[in-house]
Chains A and B, each alone.
Chain A
Amino acid sequence: MDAITRRRFLVASGVAAGGLIAAGGAAYGLTDIFATAGDRDPAARTLVLVTLYGGNDGLNTLIPYADPAYTKARPALAYDAGHVLRLDDAFGLNPAMTGLHQLYQDGRLAVVRGVGYPKPDRSHFRSMDIWQTGRPDHPETTGWLGRWLDASGGDPRLAVSFEPVLPPLLAGAHSAGATVPGGEVKLPATVTTAQLTALGKVDPAEPAARQRAATCFADLTRIQDLMADVAAAGGTDADDEPAATATGGATQPLEQQLALVARCVEAGAATRVYSVSLGGFDLHADEKAAQESQLTKLDKPLAAFAGRMSRTEAGRNVVVAVYSEFGRRVTANASDGTDHGTASSMFLLGAGVKGGMYGDPPSLTDLDQGDLKYTTDFRDVYATLLGDVLGADPARILNGWTGGLTSSPLTRR
């Protein structure tokens, strides 16, 4: 029985965390106890963060179809009122987003409009950096959820990605989230857990990078335990099995990543943050059909995931947040695409989400160098997620940021 299972057992049998050592916890490291303490609170919420790489065109995702300036700016790219999936008299969703449209009607999709940051950067890399570190004003080496992980004890099981390379948002100063491509731990038969544990010991005289390389082995033993727990609890849906390997650099399809998240959530894993992603939104040319295809790859898996999550208690504690590094220019370019822009919408969904529209829509005519002016700072959304989903102190994670959404899209606990 590993630490997490043990903790679950102890909580279920009414043994408090303080009793763990007395109850035979000597077999477990102190960090195991820190890391699992409180994590099995069955009411705790879980964040699933969906990153859309490439800069999704926000104006053709949440479409201001009733605004004449919209059609005027991009005649060949615009959707008319008859084709959008209407949300209200001013906005509709892209026709590819039937699943999210249904969620909106069910009151489980919140749309935060005009999300951005001051002095927008139109570089993919710099802007994605800003979103992932949570600092627009200063270069920063840690990710916003990595800092949350540091503050939460640093157990890599608390923040998991199913990509082969660590997304910067999960890198903390002292710890890092776990990457588990394919959701399974596959080791050569000759490698023993004892070897991993021994290799995982840090030599304080070593350079930091070597210490980190060693820590990966210690983390691996924990992930091995976590995934064994998930496998023991799940195995109900063979169709969700991921492909054997993720293709180089890119991630496996979103639906496979979300299927793994679903299995972990349903198995009661200690993980509080999952990072998943979808690439391919950088559509400088021939955008319309390509973006519809991209949005289908987003909408179908998200809607299926939301449906699956609504069926269990653990699933109803899951909140999904979707963002991209920037929106695109209001006016189309002449290759029937759009160039890099600024503010865009974020989507939040889940059983704990109060559906509807949040944030002021940016004007399509009062522009900054042809781009939308943001109305909501992305750190306000992060602060809400940190406070209302992860139960953390947002200012501590966000370098003293004290803002937040004036009306939270999340239900009170």
Chain B
Amino acid sequence: MTDRRVVAHVLRRLTFGPTAAEVDAAARDGLPATVDRILAPAPTVTPPSFPTPDRKDRQAVQDQVSDGLAWWLGQMVIHGGSAAEKLTFFWHGHFATSVQKVRSAGLMLNQQKTFRRYGPGPTGPFVRAMLRDPALIIWLDGQKNTRKAPNENLAREVMELFTLGVGHYTEDDVKAAARVLTGWQVDRAAGTSRLDPRRHATGPVTLLGRTGPLDVDGFADLLTRHAAHVPFLAGRVWLRYGGDTPMPDSLTAAGNDVPAMLRALALDPAFPQTAGHLVKQPIEWVVGAVRQLGIDPAKGRKQLLAGLRGLGQLPLRPPSVGGWPAGEAWLTTAAAQARLRTGQALTALAPAAVQHLASSVPQERLEALAAMLAVDGWTDRTAAVLTPAAKDPRRLLAIGLATPEYTVQ
């Protein structure tokens, strides 16, 4: 595989996009410098703040959620060339909290601040912060978990889905963890959480083989230092960044730090062989296209949201605490239709991209399209469809976005 193909592959997996210019720059700089650049710490991002609406005013809540989502999509487009921006979405899918129950754009974006602040570092401080996160507490009934009335929801999911995975804890551990997490209350207006001592159960617990008194931070540390934690986390990272092929050992060797895992993965000599094995999540497909086609996300807000909804992945609304599916679940007849429709809608928003394709002679347009979409090349099958379409650059671009080569990266 040529160096250009290797860096293009790394950019496709670690960032949203990439644009032809980003691939050119990476090919010039080489792999190590490119990896350093895309993994460099991102500047601090301040999400918009929203006044606390009356929760019964569904329309006001909904309007804030739409504005918050539009803001986020804008961030993905502007900063999509950095690994940090895609990583923020990774953490959203990992801690899969839905605004449908939280009912507050402010609390959802507050949670995102935590993703941006702690997500690019070791998981110890991150899990400590997440166990206090108001949106997560509401989402998993944490404020209903009290000394007198334990509720296991948060305790179970934090072990099963966020840190250890099924099989590494017992039902007794779930009960003990629920007890440790009792008493947390959320102040919606202030966007904060606090421990109410009257609702909190004290006294020793036996949890994950250790007996004694335990507070929330001690619990977080127990999880992130557990032998099952790093392999579990590496598996989740591989699912979203690697694909359905076996995971290289370099991921777990990187420890409990996801950017370190991403670096290891990008530099692993076996990584280029995974090209063509990872189905793009709808968010990757839409945001990548918006960046590559030079679309203004504010102007295309309606079309972007319609596309994401049709493909089944609206950010802020994961289907359950298990997050979105991965892999071939996104390859359905319904999704094929949605890609054809959305491809056309995106093309209509991208006159400059159409013009760029039109500036080549028709025989060279397939190559120009591949460069624009950062696709390594077209199979004979796809070329047979694109070649007759090439005389109309609009049609060429719209169908190019729906091809298997662009859908599976």
* A334-B150 in contact (CB<8A): yes
**Cα distance A125–B336 in the bound complex, in angstroms:** 26
Least distance between A219 CB and chain B CB atoms (Å): 5
Task: Report chain B residues within 8 Å CB of A199.
Answer: 381-382, 385, 399, 402-404
A219 touches B333 (CB 8 A): yes
The answer to whether B151 touches A186 (Cβ under 8 A) is no
Query: In the docked arrangement, what's the CA distance between A410 and B405, Å?
Result: 47
CB-based contact A334/B149 at 8 Å:
yes
- The complex places the Cα of A334 from the Cα of B182 at a distance, in Å, of 12
Please provide the chain A residues from 10 to 27 with a CB less than 8 Å away from any CB of chain B in the complex.
Answer: none
Q: Mark A183-210, 1 if CB is under 8 A from B, else 0.
A: 0011110110001001101110111111
| Least distance between A229 CB and chain B CB atoms (Å) | 16
Contact with B along A243-259 (1 / 0, CB 8 A): 00111111000000000
Binds A, one of B153-161, B183-191, B231-239: B153-161
Task: Specify which chain B residues have a CB less than 8 angstroms from the CB of A248 in the assembled complex.
Answer: 308-309, 312-314, 317, 319
Contact A187 B337 (CB under 8 A): yes
- Nearest B residue to A222 via CB reads B333
How many angstroms from the CA of A223 to the CA of B335 in the assembled complex?
Answer: 13
* Closest B residue to A213 using CB positions: B404
Q: How far is the CB of B303 from chain A (nearest CB, A)?
A: 13
A285 to B382, alpha carbons, bound, how many Å? 52
| B243, B319, B399 — most chain A CB neighbours (10 Å) | B319
Give the distance to chain B from A160, nearest Cβ to Cβ, in Å. 9
Beta-carbon contact of B381 and A190 below 8 Å: no
Our pick among B152, B321, B332, B399 for the contact of A179 (Cβ within 8 Å) is B332
- CB <8 Å contact, A249 and B313: yes
Q: Do A209 and B276 touch across chains, with their CB atoms under 8 A apart?
A: yes
Of the candidates B153, B332, B382, B403, the one whose C-beta lies within 8 Å of that of A178 is: B332
State the CA gap A172–B357 with chains docked (Å).
40
Choose one: A165, A190, A198, A334; the contact of B398 (CB below 8 Å): A190
Asked whether A166 is an interface residue with its Cβ less than 8 Å from the other chain, the reply is yes
A212 at the interface (CB under 8 A from B): yes
A334 touches B148 (CB 8 A): yes
The distance from the CB of B6 to the nearest CB of chain A, in whole angstroms, is 17
Cα–Cα, bound, A199→B337 (Å): 13
Cβ-neighbour of A213 out of B309, B331, B341 (below 8 A)? B331
Within 8 A of B (CB), among A222-265: 223, 245-250
B57 interfacial contact with A, CB 8 Å: no
Question: Which chain A residues lie closer than 8 Å to B308 at the CB level?
Answer: 248
A136: B residues at CB distance < 8 A: none
Which one of A176, A213, A214, A223 has the highest number of Cβ atoms from chain B below 10 Å of its Cβ?
A213
Contact B332 A216 (CB under 8 A): yes
> Quick one: closest B residue to A184, CB to CB?
B337
A158 within 8 A of B: no
Q: Does A78 contact B (CB under 8 A)?
A: no
Residue among B311, B320, B403 facing the most chain A CB atoms (10 A cut-off): B320
Contact B276 A165 (CB under 8 A): no
Asked if B1 is an interface residue, CB under 8 A from chain A, the answer is: no
Residue B294 at the A interface, CB < 8 A? Answer: no
| Interface 9-mer from A30-38, A294-302, A335-343, A393-401 | A335-343
> Across the two chains, which residue of chain B brings its CB closest to A195?
B385
Cβ–Cβ contact B341 & A209, under 8 A? no
Chain B nearest CB from A276 CB (Å) reads 15
Asked whether any CB of chain B lies closer than 8 Å to the CB of A369, the reply is yes
Which residue, of B174, B276, B337, has the highest number of chain A Cβ atoms within 10 A? Answer: B337
B319 near A214 with CB under 8 A, answer no
B199, chain A: closest CB distance, angstroms: 11
Does A171 touch B at the CB level, under 8 Å? yes
Cβ-defined contact, B337 with A185, below 8 A: yes
Assess whether B380 is in contact with A249, with CB atoms less than 8 Å apart: no
With known contacts A191-B340, A207-B408, A166–B329 Cβ distance under 8 A: yes
User: A216 and B322 in contact (CB under 8 A), knowing A187-B341, A188-B341?
Assistant: no
Shortest distance between the CB of B310 and any CB in chain A (Å)? 6
Is B2 located at the chain interface by the 8 A CB criterion?
A: no
B-contacting 9-mer, from A116-124, A354-362, A381-389: A116-124
Contact B310 A188 (CB under 8 A): no
Question: In the complex, how many angstroms separate the beta carbon of A346 from the nearest chain B beta carbon?
Answer: 22
B141 at the binding interface (Cβ < 8 Å): yes
Contact between chains at B149 and A191 (CB < 8 Å):
no
Does the CB pair A333–B151 fall under 8 Å?
Answer: yes
A190-B344, A207-B276, A249-B324 in contact; A126/B332 too (CB < 8 A)?
no
A107 at interface, CB cutoff 8 A: no
B327 touches A209 (CB 8 A): yes
Is the CB–CB distance between A188 and B327 below 8 Å? no
- Contact across chains for B329 and A165 when beta carbons are under 8 A apart: yes
Q: Please name the residue on chain A nearest to B140 by beta carbon.
A: A284
Residues of B with C-beta under 8 A to A198: 381, 384-385
Q: Which residue of B lies closest to A336 (CB)?
A: B149
Taking a contact as CB atoms under 8 Å apart, the answer to whether A216 and B333 are in contact is yes
Report Cα–Cα, A334/B149, bound state, in Å.
Answer: 4
A165 x B320 contact (CB < 8 A):
no
Give Cα distance in the complex from A248 to B119, angstroms: 25
CB neighbours of A156 from chain B (8 A): 333
Instruction: Assess the A212–B381 pair: CB atoms within 8 A.
Output: no
B104 within 8 A of A: no
Q: Collect the chain B residues with CB atoms within 8 Å of residue A330's CB.
A: none
- Which one, B146, B156, B311, contacts A164 given CB within 8 A? B311
Q: Which B159-188 residues have a C-beta within 8 angstroms of A? A: 160-161, 166, 171, 174
Could you tell me if A217 and B279 are in contact, using CB atoms closer than 8 angstroms?
A: no
> Could you give, for residues 167-183 of chain A, a 1 whenever the CB lies within 8 Å of some chain B CB and a 0 otherwise?
01001000010111100
Q: Is A314 an interface residue (CB 8 A)?
A: no
A-B contact pairs, 25 of them (CB 8 A): A122-B171, A124-B322, A125-B320, A164-B312, A164-B332, A165-B329, A188-B340, A188-B341, A191-B340, A198-B385, A199-B402, A205-B379, A208-B277, A209-B244, A210-B276, A247-B314, A247-B317, A248-B314, A248-B319, A249-B320, A284-B153, A334-B150, A334-B151, A335-B145, A339-B151
Interchain residue pairs A-B with the least CB separation, the first 8: A334-B149, A248-B314, A249-B319, A213-B404, A164-B312, A179-B332, A216-B336, A179-B334
Interface residues of B (CB under 8 A from A): 141, 144-146, 148-153, 156, 160-161, 166, 171, 174, 243-244, 276-279, 306, 308-314, 317-322, 324-325, 327-338, 340-341, 344, 379-382, 384-385, 389, 395, 398-399, 402-405, 407-408
Besides A179-B333, A180-B334, A198-B384, 6 other A-B contacts (C-beta < 8 A): A180-B333, A199-B402, A199-B404, A212-B328, A246-B312, A339-B151
